[in-house]
Structures are given as structure tokens and as C-alpha cells.
Amino acid sequence: MTVETIKIMLIEDNPGDVRLLQVAIEHAKTVDFELISVATLDDAISLLASSRFDLVLVDLNLPDSFGYDTFLAVKAIVSECPIVILSGEYNETLAIDSIRDGAQDYLVKGEYNRVNLIRAMRYAIERKRMEIDVTDRQRRLSEAHRLLKLGDWVWVVSTGEQTWSEETCRMFGVPKDTQGSVELYEQFVHPDDTHAVERQFQLISNGQQEVASKYRIIRQTGEVRYIESHLKAVSSSSGELIEVIGTNQDVTERAEAEDARNRALSEAKNANQAKSNFLASMSHELRTPLNAITGFSEVFIGELFGSLGSDKYKEYAFDIHASSEHLLNLVNDILDLSMIETGRISLDIQELDVSELLNECSRFIIRDVDSKHIQYTIKVPADIPILMADKRSMKQIIINLLSNALKFTPDGGEISLHAKTLDGFHVFIIQDNGDGIDEQKLATITEPFVTKESDPYKTQPGYGLGLAIVKSLVDSHQGYLDIQSQISVGTTVTVKIPTKGTGLTR
């Protein structure tokens, strides 16, 4: 069995008492004591400064020091070493004061036997170790609280006193030894937030066990801080409120970041609204002259008022008509998108026959399908239920997606349009074996004016509004849009619309 060695310093000027102690510890079985004795305080201080001891036994009355000051002088040198006081007589006041000030025990010479002495020394060492461990844990906890800006306090209801932690004092900007109270606490609360604090204490007083709230405080310097507070009631067995334990966390940086984020979101929303309003206004202004250009070019093409003369005039009229039609389509797309984004579109939710809907949409592309020799298939279950949705929006969604598929599918390719129901949604799947979309483009492909091609010399006709309109219309129905694509393999677009028409009627 391993025998523990404990190194003891005995500060004692009486040789007889030194010898009695030596005899008392000689026969310890489980502990090997190493005893070093000195007769004066100066010798003790000199040795303690240069050597480590597990325990100090000190007589308060020495040739060069007398009374309680002897203990205080030793404690100043060895704050982490347990100290046991040896006294010639019992003094209760001195004994209590010494324990309060850090002594581990107070023994009266001649009133202890060998067993009690060894036990007292062992207990003193263990208590000191535990004390140091607790102090270290408290230090780490205090540091964690400082890093988290987390303070705590205890409110004793019977006296009204509050004990504030060091971090709570730092949070409120007061000295760390400040004696808190409910009144002092409320002095720091922002005038506009006093109701939150009053309600918090009122709920606890009325029997609620835990309460949380957020409010602002104003430090003595005038600085405003945001506080997140939690209270916990401690009651007696009869239900009487004894005390309240509270925590305060300074969340100023988080609150300010949230405020900044909300302001940025609001500014972005306003800017987007202004943009949409501008586009809508501009589109309306452009449609009138474009309609006139388109109409008059048709008059020239049809030569309603006689021959134009040279065939070149007629050729130019065709070009004017085609260009105005193209620009008018773009303006109509911008107008549609701006109306959706500004919430000015009205959804007329009605019963839709899905087979009939898809056949109507297919008629818009069938001529181009035939001219490109595309293999086009429609698959709709015979028992597919009625869809509750806005017919105009659904047609625009499907026609735009079919037109995109047709645009990027080569001659002789394949396009399919399938419909089904799944988990309360009507699901529409448009699939092609065309060029595909680069993976990096997929994330932004539904944003306005984003096109599949980045090279202007390869770009297909269009200004990148079709998918943006589709996405906005799907969102207005509280649906989902998913696009999967692979270069040289093709693209699959999935649209999910709530079967029972939970879209927003505007």
C-alpha cells in the first residue's frame, strides 16, 4: 500500500509542545508526516517563501509576533495552504473570526489526542483543496459569464435586498460591490420599457415560476443597452415566495444587428417596390406608342390604302412589325412581373380540369413542335382530381415552361408534360432533352433578366423574364418550383400547386 507523505510546518516556540506534536504523529499508519518546526514568525515567513508545504500549524503567540496578527501574516504568505491555529486557551470570538478569515481549524493545546489531531490535519487539507477547487470553478464560471455578458442576482423578498454578481454590476455600470434592490434596478430601466420589468416582477409575485422578457437599460453614462432577462421563483413548502433568482444577458450587439437587418430588409423591400412601380408605369407608357407602331405597320403590310410601291417598303414594314411585337411582348412581361411583385395581380381561384388545361396550353406550341419535329407527349391520369387555381396564371406558367423547353431543345428532340397529384399538391413536370443549364446558373435562373446563356452571341431570343414570372406566379399560389438540369442531357422543371387552392387571392 502506498503511504502518502504530508509536509507540515509547525510554527511553535515551546519545545515541549513541539515534542508532543511529534509524538502524536509518529505512529500514523496511512500517512507519512514530514514535520519541520520553526520558533519565530520571521523564520516561518522566510521558509514559507522558498518551500512548499501541505499544512501549516501556527501558535499565535511567538517571540516576534503576538495574537491574531500572527495568523494574518502567515495567511498573506501562503494563501493556498491550509492553516490550523494552535492556541493555549479557547477564545470563541477568535476562533470564529479565524475560520471566517480562512483558517481551516482552531485547536486548543492539550484538548486533542493523537487520533483527533491527525483527523483534524487531514480534514483541513481536504477542505482547503475543495475550497481552492470551488474558487477555481467560480473563477472560470465568472469568466464565462463575462464572455457571455451574463449576470445574475438574487432578490430576498422578505428584506427587499438584491445581491448582484460582478457581471451584473458591470452590465449596469456600477461598482462591483453595489448593494442592489428592486428600486435601484428599476432606476436603470428605459422609461419606455418600465412596463416590461414591472410585469415581470408582478407575474413572479402572482405565482408564476419562470418569466422571461427583453428591455433596455440606461447606464449612468447615458449609454443604452439591450437586456434579455429570466426570473425563477423559489418558494417555501407552503408556497410562499422566498426569493427570486434572476439572470440578465447583455444582447445589445445582437439586438442592434437585428435592427440593422430589419432596416436593410425594409429598405430593400421599399426599393424593390419602387422599382416595380417604375417598371409598371414605364410599361404602361410604352404600350400605347408600341400598339400604334404595331397597328400602323400592319396597315402598311396589308397595303390598305394602296400599293407601297417598292417591295423594300413592305419588307421594312414587316421588320417594323416584328420588332414592335417583340418589344411589346417584353413590355407585357415586365408589366406582368411588376404587377405580381407589387401585389396588384388578382387570382381568380376556380375549378380547373387538368386535362383540358394542358391541352389548351399545348395548342400554343404545337406548330413550333411540328416544325422542329419534336416528339411531344402529354401524360395525365384519367382520374386526376379538379385543381383549384387561377386559370390565367396556370396557363402562363405552363406555356412559359413549354416555350423554354422548346427554345432549347434541338430539332428531333423530346419534350414531355406530365401531371399527377402528391401529398395535397397537383404536380406538373416538364422535361426535355435539350442543351441543359449550367449548375452555377441554376441558383439565379429564376431571377429577372437572367438568361441561360452568358455569351450574347449564343443567347436565344428572350430577356430572361419567363422563369421569373413563373416563379412569382407559383409563389402567389403558395406552391413550389424546382429546376433540375444537366448540360447536354436536358432539363426537368417541377411545379407543385396546392390542390385545394390555398393561394392568396389578391
Give 467-478 pLDDT, tens digit per residue: 888 888 898 889
What backbone torsions phi and psi does residue 403 show, to the nearest 5 degrees? Answer: -65, -40
- What's residue 448's pLDDT? 62
Rounded Cα distance, 291 and 295, in Å: 6
Residues 47, 66: contact at Cβ < 8 Å?
no
What backbone torsions phi and psi does residue 458 show, to the nearest 5 degrees? Answer: -110, -5
- What's residue 343's pLDDT? 61
Query: pLDDT digit string (tens) for 305-350?
Result: 888 778 888 788 888 887 887 777 777 766 766 666 666 667 788 9
- What's residue 24's pLDDT? 81
Residues in the chain predicted with pLDDT less than 50, given as ranges, are 1, 452-463, 503-506
- What's residue 38's pLDDT? 94
pTM, two decimals, is 0.47
- What's residue 192's pLDDT? 93
Q: Is 416 in a helix, a strand, or coil?
A: strand
Rounded Cα distance, 343 and 337, in Å: 10
Q: Is 321 in a helix, a strand, or coil?
A: helix
Length of the chain: 506
Please list, in sequence order, all residues whose beta carbon lies within 8 angstroms of the beta carbon of residue 505, skipping any fewer than 6 positions away: 346, 347, 348, 349
Rounded Cα distance, 399 and 368, in Å: 13
Range 307-336 burial, b when 16+ CB lie within 10 A, else e: eeeeeeebeebeebbeebeeebebbebbbb
Phi-psi region of 436 (alpha: psi -120 to 50; beta: other; left: phi over 0): left
**Closest by CA position to 301, among listed 322, 287, 286:** 322
Rounded Cα distance, 343 and 311, in Å: 48
> What are the chain's domains?
4-144 (3.40.50.2300), 149-250 (3.30.450.20), 258-341 (1.10.287), 349-498 (3.30.565.10)
